[in-house]
Amino acid sequence: MDTKTEAELMKFRNYTRILEQWIAVKQRNISFDSWFIENQFKKIAVYGMGRIGQLFINEMADSNVKICFGIDKGQTAGVSQVKVVHPQDEFDEADLIVVTAMAEFAEIKRSLKKKVPCPVVSLEDIIYELY
């Protein structure tokens, strides 16, 4: 197996594990917004408008936490019910940025911390804290 295939397989396994934990959290009737409210984050941005990002935005739709905008470096026209900006664009301040592109989290966080004063966290970390 070549290195690229191994990396893709590892990414798939990690996302599967994270989604299993997410389902377990839901089955225990624990909501994401409880974590945000407990940590006093009322306005958040979501980095990553792929499938995980869209699921997360849908999950937060009826919560007391406002998703102000999404951030994605790919083609974003019409992919989300929230405004989506490119990471190089100027964007509004948020209380927190949640990264749903978890395989690239370290690189994304490093890049965003040069640009924004708010905390940048991985969705994976939130899920494991709730679990």
DSSP output for 86-124 = -TTS-----SEEEE--GGGHHHHHHHHHTT-SS-EEEHH
Does pLDDT of 2 surpass 80?
Answer: no
Q: Which residues contact 25 (CB under 8 A, 6 or more apart)?
A: 127, 130, 131
Query: Looking at residue 11, what is its pLDDT?
Result: 86
pLDDT tens sequence across 8-37: 888 889 899 999 999 999 999 999 999 999
Query: Looking at residue 1, what is its pLDDT?
Result: 63
Angle at 81 between CA 8 and CA 30, to 5 degrees: 70
Closest CA to 100 of 129, 123, 66: 123
pLDDT-based confidence at 121, cuts 50/70/90? very high
C-alpha 2/C-alpha 77 separation (Å) is 34
* Amino acid code (one letter) for 109: K
pLDDT-based confidence at 75, cuts 50/70/90? low
Query: Looking at residue 3, what is its pLDDT?
Result: 76
